[in-house]
């Protein structure tokens, strides 16, 4: 991934936090038939050295890839279009162009398939507890009947992704003057959707 110095993010805690906040990943693997991509939630384990996930038995990734295949998991954080019309320079000299601000994390590593029922159950409990956290009446894996849950576990396989490298890019107007950043924040708030608000919050922290 191209990383201009102004946008490069290397702090592991920041990268893992972005993964935790935006767990839906694009998992890319190279197979004998070429590249394949799957979209699925992936969650880092406690020490941040692995990503855990699962797929339906109907998904043939397990047949397309050997155990230990090199893989890339891409996590997309807040992102939004930035209008050239927001910059003060648009009226002063006109030498402005639009762009797109975004947060992205690339996890490089090796992918292994897990079939152990205890591993799969522990993963599902951890993932569900995380996703349900803060709800008034959170759903728990234990809410499902045991026989039903056993059948569901047989219908999926686990993914254990050993992280070799995390690469982050925060393209959030760091290369602009504060007056431009403030104008962009104002424009994003005027747009008002959640992606705009989240993007504005990150830019504000760079001022």
**What is the model's pLDDT at position 128?**
96
Q: pTM for the whole thing? A: 0.93
pLDDT bin (cut points 50, 70, 90) of residue 137 is very high
**What is the model's pLDDT at position 8?**
97
| Domain range summary for the chain, segments of one domain joined by + | 5-176
- Contact status, residue 26 vs residue 37, Cβ threshold 8 Å: yes
Mean pLDDT of the chain: 96
**What is the model's pLDDT at position 32?**
83
**What is the model's pLDDT at position 91?**
87
What 8-state DSSP symbol labels residue 62?
Answer: H
**What is the model's pLDDT at position 33?**
86
Enter the CATH code of domain 5-176. Answer: 2.30.110.10
- In three-state secondary structure terms, 83 is coil
pLDDT digits (tens, 9 = 90+) for 46-78: 999 999 999 999 999 999 999 999 999 999 999
Helix (H) or strand (E) holding 14: helix 12-21
**What is the model's pLDDT at position 51?**
98
């Amino acid at each position: 991934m191209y990383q201009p110095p102004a946008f490069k993010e290397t702090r592991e805690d920041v990268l893992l936090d972005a993964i935790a906040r935006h767990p839906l990943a694009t998992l890319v693997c190279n197979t004998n038939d070429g590249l394949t991509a799957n979209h699925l939630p992936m969650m880092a384990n406690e020490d941040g050295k692995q990503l855990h996930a699962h797929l339906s038995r109907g998904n043939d990734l397990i047949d397309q890839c050997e155990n230990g295949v090199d893989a890339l998991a891409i996590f997309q954080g807040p992102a939004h279009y930035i209008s050239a019309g927001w910059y003060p320079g648009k009226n002063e000299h006109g030498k402005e162009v639009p762009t797109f601000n975004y947060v992205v994390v690339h996890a490089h590593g090796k992918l292994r398939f897990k079939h152990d029922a205890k591993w799969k159950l522990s993963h599902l409990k951890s993932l569900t507890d995380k996703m349900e956290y803060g709800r008034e009446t959170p759903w728990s894996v234990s809410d499902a009947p045991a026989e039903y849950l056993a059948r569901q576990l047989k219908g999926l396989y686990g993914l254990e992704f050993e992280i070799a490298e995390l690469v982050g890019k925060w393209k959030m107007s760091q290369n602009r003057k504060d007056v431009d950043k403030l104008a962009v924040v104002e424009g994003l708030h005027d747009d008002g959707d959640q992606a705009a608000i989240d993007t504005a919050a990150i830019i504000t922290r760079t001022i």
